Amino acid sequence: MHDLVVVGAGPYGLSIAAHAAAAGFDLRLLGRAMASWRDHMPAGMFLKSEPWASDLSDPQGTGTLAAYAAAHGLRAEHGRPLPLATFADYGLWFAGRLPVPVEDRTVTTVAPHAGGYRVETADGAVLLTRCVAMAAGVLPLIRLPEPLRELPPGLASHSSDHRDLRRFRGRHVTVIGAGQAALETAALLAEAGARPLVLARAPRLRWNTPPLPLHRGPMATLRTPHSALGPGWSSWTWSRLPNAVRRLPARTRARIVENALGPAGAWWLRDRLEGVVPVRLGHRLVRAVAADGGVRLELAVDPAGGAGSGGGEPAVVETEHVLAATGFVTDLRRLEILDPSLRHAVRKVRGTTAPELTAGFESSRPGLFFAGLLTAPSFGPSMRFVHGATFTAGRLVRGVGRRLGGGRGAAQVPRPAASARGAAGWATGAAAGRPE
């Protein structure tokens, strides 16, 4: 029986595996490395977060994005948007340096088993393990507006369904949403020769401002500190103190996760959208019906939605395809690879459908750990971003160590280095440079 099976090989799964391998656990890592980033985000996107806030985590602190960029002659600088493809390549580089292989297998079932768990894969493999870390990413958690769920697949989709937007060349595509995914997808559609329209419930679009200089005077820094989630004291708190967030009342945590760092477009995207893509604000989707080879969208219009909102009257949009860039939900029930006995029995954060977790990311079911978006109602908004992997990985692995006990207790789990020491110090021994 293995000590730990990590399900998922995105930034969280890879980081957990790095720490677990350093702790000496009998470990398996299952999933397609960086699958969401490689297969489920439109080509041409950029990373919204700053490069210095987008590191994967290893105990020595040598597998940083800056180390990858330096080793490959790339620029990863503050205030300079990084191509998403470069970030995906960084994740593959990180995976290749792990002392355990990334097994490109699709997990189909995680179920209770005597003394632990049974993990089954699509190719028929069965693994028995004492602990499981669910780092399955956001794809099982997509949020699709209810009116779109009954439409044929060819008429409606989620933004995570697309890698190549050129398939929409010459077609009218309605993008629903007001966040970065919606706005950047709309801009990319226009640049690919499509005819996009953005529909948003919000009364106005929000745009992030260009990042402040990293080096400022002490008073300016005190007034508006830098953080991995953006400038300001609230963002600093969410990024630096997730454990303090966990100690807040459940309703307070849920409210913070719901409202903090709301939908906004990156500063560098604004010129590519405004005056290029039409936007209708204050429009709420009520009904969607297949009609004449396309979709008829019936909308409720908020009079405060701005010019052209229709003064409160219903509106109709006819389009060839609807693309929902409406984010993801922290709903454990969506994680269908978990046996129903686990999905329903795990204690939830009050008022949510997300698992309540210990400081070591362990659920109420002993040996079942979670990472990523589903942990946001426990630890706060930073778990919605790559940055949260650094906080998660070491603590989760120490939690596994405590669960395992005996000779592999928490005392043997190394804590992450305070800063990177250069790319050469991590991947050593026979496993260094192992390919995916």
Predicted confidence (pLDDT) per residue in 75-92, tens digit:
999 999 999 999 999 999
Is residue 375 located within the same domain as residue 304?
no
- Please provide residue 20's backbone torsions phi and psi, each rounded to the nearest 5 degrees: -65, -40
Domain membership of residue 269 (yes or no) is yes
Model confidence, pTM: 0.90
Instruction: Name the pLDDT band for 303 (thresholds 50, 70, 90).
Output: low
Is residue 157 located within the same domain as residue 272?
yes
The mean pLDDT value for 128-134 works out to: 98
Domain membership of residue 159 (yes or no) is yes
CA distance 226 to 215: 10
Reduced to 3 states, what is the DSSP secondary structure of residue 288?
Answer: strand
Tell me: pLDDT of 47 over 80: yes
pLDDT of residue 424: 32
Domain membership of residue 17 (yes or no) is yes
User: CB of 410 within 8 A of CB of 401?
Assistant: yes
Is residue 306 located within the same domain as residue 273?
yes
Per-residue pLDDT of 344-367, as tens digits, reads: 999 999 999 999 999 999 999 999
Instruction: Name the pLDDT band for 310 (thresholds 50, 70, 90).
Output: very low
pLDDT of residue 412: 52
Q: What percent of the chain stands above pLDDT 70? A: 90
Is residue 181 located within the same domain as residue 271?
yes
Tell me: pLDDT of 376 over 80: yes
The mean pLDDT value for 156-160 works out to: 94
Per-residue pLDDT of 222-267, as tens digits, reads: 999 988 898 899 999 999 999 999 999 999 999 999 888 889 999 9
The mean pLDDT value for 327-334 works out to: 94
Domain membership of residue 378 (yes or no) is yes
pLDDT of residue 416: 54
Q: 135: Cβ–Cβ under 8 A, 6 or more apart, which residues?
A: 6, 7, 8, 9, 10, 12, 13, 16, 370, 371, 372
CA distance 318 to 293: 10
Tell me: pLDDT of 432 over 90: no
Number of domain units in the chain: 2
Tell the residue number behind the tokens 């503050």, with chain if given. 78
Instruction: Name the pLDDT band for 292 (thresholds 50, 70, 90).
Output: confident
Is residue 369 located within the same domain as residue 355?
yes
Tell me: pLDDT of 24 over 90: yes
The mean pLDDT value for 38-56 works out to: 94
Identity (one letter) of the amino acid at 230? G
Domain membership of residue 95 (yes or no) is yes
Is residue 339 located within the same domain as residue 316?
no
pLDDT of residue 414: 54
Domain membership of residue 400 (yes or no) is yes
Residue 174 is part of a domain; what is its CATH number? 3.50.50.60
User: CB of 392 within 8 A of CB of 37?
Assistant: no
User: CB of 221 within 8 A of CB of 233?
Assistant: no
Domain membership of residue 381 (yes or no) is yes
pLDDT of residue 421: 32
Is residue 38 located within the same domain as residue 93?
yes
pLDDT of residue 296: 96
Provide the domain limits for residue 31.
Answer: 2-141+328-425
Is residue 112 located within the same domain as residue 62?
yes
Domain membership of residue 277 (yes or no) is yes
Domain edge (last residue) among 306, 324, 342: 324
Is residue 341 located within the same domain as residue 414?
yes
Q: Is 10 exposed, middle or buried (0-12, 13-18, 19+ CB in 10 A)?
A: buried
pLDDT of residue 143: 93
Tell me: pLDDT of 284 over 60: yes
C-alpha distances out from residue 338 to 44, 397, 434, Å: 34, 21, 30
